[in-house]
Amino acid sequence: MVWDIDSTPTAKWLAGQARPNQFRALRNRLLLSYLALAAAISGTFATVVYSVVSRDRNAQLNEHIEQVAVSAVGTLEIIQHEYVELLTEDEDRSQVPLDPDGLPQPITLSDLMGQYEADSILDVESDLLPPAHQGVQWYDPQGHLMVQEGMIFPDAPLPLDLPSQGLRVQYPNLRTFAIPVRQAHAQGNAPLLGYVRVTESTQLLESELRRLRWGLGLGGMVVAGLTTLSGLWLTRESLKPVVASYTQLRQFTSDASHELRNPLTAIRASVAVMQTHPERVHPADWEKLGAIASASEQMSHLVDDLLLLARMDRQTPQSATWRTLALDELLEDLVDLYGDRAQQAHLILQHGPWPSLQVKGDAAQLQRLFTNLLTNALQYTPAGGQVTLTLQRTAQQALVQVEDTGIGIAAEQIPHIFDRFWRADSARSWHQGGSGLGLAIAQTIAQHHHGSITVQSTPNLGSCFSIRLPLA
């Protein structure tokens, strides 16, 4: 199983293991989640408003068209009668224009009956026939257009197979409603009198909906701006108590370590003095004295580690005081230092030759980083195993890898290994002396140097820790 520890910075931060600059990452994540939620809510709101208004306005338009149609249906019989009379009376027939086929062309209602009659037949005035936005057409039973009124008519011919309740058709910028008209009060299949078709422009509706879309869009932008500002404020406020308790916790660790340091130094000094005068110690107590010396030694290492972490937590990296360091030489020193120990543990320590790569940093801290990883590799690898130290260049970074063929780390434990004081159970039974601070220190040092540590591990096969540092 391969894991990348850097992928869980928030979890580590929440566990109190990360440095304060990672608050920024958490704040950004909170802010992003908040903004995504707010965008989803306001987007849904705008969509609902738009669809409700659009449906409502469309329904109003349909209702209006149908009202006009109903009104026009009632006039078809009388209009047809007048039209037929006009065609059959010789002296008036010349008033009806003919098309190239000799068929009579449609005339307007007001031409047929006079404006007053037209208005009164339709029983409504300009509202029913607003010439700029509406048109009404009356057809005979064969679908021949006899009379029309208004300004807007579709180019499409009237479909004759209309359902009895009428048919609504949407054209670009136009909507029509056509209905067959049958004789009223007739029994059975009433004879067809003709058809009526009402047309209305949808341009007004479209421009109204366009304005609404703009309004919602602009409103959405204002809401997004306000949400971002309030989100910034909210996330900062909500993190304040967390930051405060984080700082308090760090301060407590630092103070406690400081307070422990002096008594520990006193104990170690006293034990050292006693050990230099064995004649003054009762032989039965000699072993106990050794145990006290070893425990106080261990405690003072622990306190030193805690103080180092506390100092690095407090400080921003002092890059002004950093030196340019040859990583290959630093690793070479490490191999010289730990070569014997590897040999004693019957381990093969593979190393070099390495390219000459330079990084900027604090020599003591970087040495500590690699020491922690190398001693872990030596500690957690059974005799006969191998530990390999490699150094290579990748883009603008130096990549150091400490690889072993040791006990490995279970996948579910990997997210915890950089937590302070965390140790795997297998590690406890394998090696007693550890404190669980080594990797936390290594990670803090790497981060201080603008680098990172990642780990890949397979239980019983081994682990590989990769440290990336920017090249000088």
* Residues at the interface with ligand ADP (CB under 6 A): 372, 376-377, 380, 404, 406-409, 417, 422-424, 427, 434-440, 463
Rank residues 77 and 297 by Cβ distance to ligand ADP and give the closer one.
297
The distance of closest approach from Cβ of residue 441 to ligand ADP in the complex, given in angstroms and rounded to an integer, is 8
Rank residues 175 and 351 by Cβ distance to ligand ADP and give the closer one.
351
Residue pair 322/362 in contact (Cβ under 8 Å)? The answer is: yes
The distance of closest approach from Cβ of residue 408 to ligand ADP in the complex, given in angstroms and rounded to an integer, is 6
Separation between Cα atoms, residue 432 and residue 222, nearest integer Å: 61
Rank residues 150 and 408 by Cβ distance to ligand ADP and give the closer one.
408
Rank residues 72 and 373 by Cβ distance to ligand ADP and give the closer one.
373
The distance of closest approach from Cβ of residue 439 to ligand ADP in the complex, given in angstroms and rounded to an integer, is 4
The distance of closest approach from Cβ of residue 429 to ligand ADP in the complex, given in angstroms and rounded to an integer, is 10
The distance of closest approach from Cβ of residue 311 to ligand ADP in the complex, given in angstroms and rounded to an integer, is 18
The distance of closest approach from Cβ of residue 424 to ligand ADP in the complex, given in angstroms and rounded to an integer, is 3
Residue pair 401/361 in contact (Cβ under 8 Å)? The answer is: no
The distance of closest approach from Cβ of residue 263 to ligand ADP in the complex, given in angstroms and rounded to an integer, is 23
Tokens of 52: 């409700």
Rank residues 216 and 310 by Cβ distance to ligand ADP and give the closer one.
310
Rank residues 149 and 419 by Cβ distance to ligand ADP and give the closer one.
419
The distance of closest approach from Cβ of residue 306 to ligand ADP in the complex, given in angstroms and rounded to an integer, is 13
Tokens of 242: 């967390």
Classify residue 219 by burial, with Cβ atoms within 10 Å: 0-12, 13-18, 19+: middle
Rank residues 129 and 309 by Cβ distance to ligand ADP and give the closer one.
309
The distance of closest approach from Cβ of residue 386 to ligand ADP in the complex, given in angstroms and rounded to an integer, is 12
b/e string for 158-180 if b means 16 or more Cβ within 10 A?
beeeeeeebeeeeeeebbbbbbb
Rank residues 351 and 423 by Cβ distance to ligand ADP and give the closer one.
423
Rank residues 342 and 437 by Cβ distance to ligand ADP and give the closer one.
437
Q: What angle do CA 295, 301, 302 make, to 5 degrees?
A: 90
Rank residues 140 and 419 by Cβ distance to ligand ADP and give the closer one.
419
What residue has token string 């006039």?
75
The distance of closest approach from Cβ of residue 372 to ligand ADP in the complex, given in angstroms and rounded to an integer, is 6
The distance of closest approach from Cβ of residue 423 to ligand ADP in the complex, given in angstroms and rounded to an integer, is 3
Rank residues 203 and 452 by Cβ distance to ligand ADP and give the closer one.
452
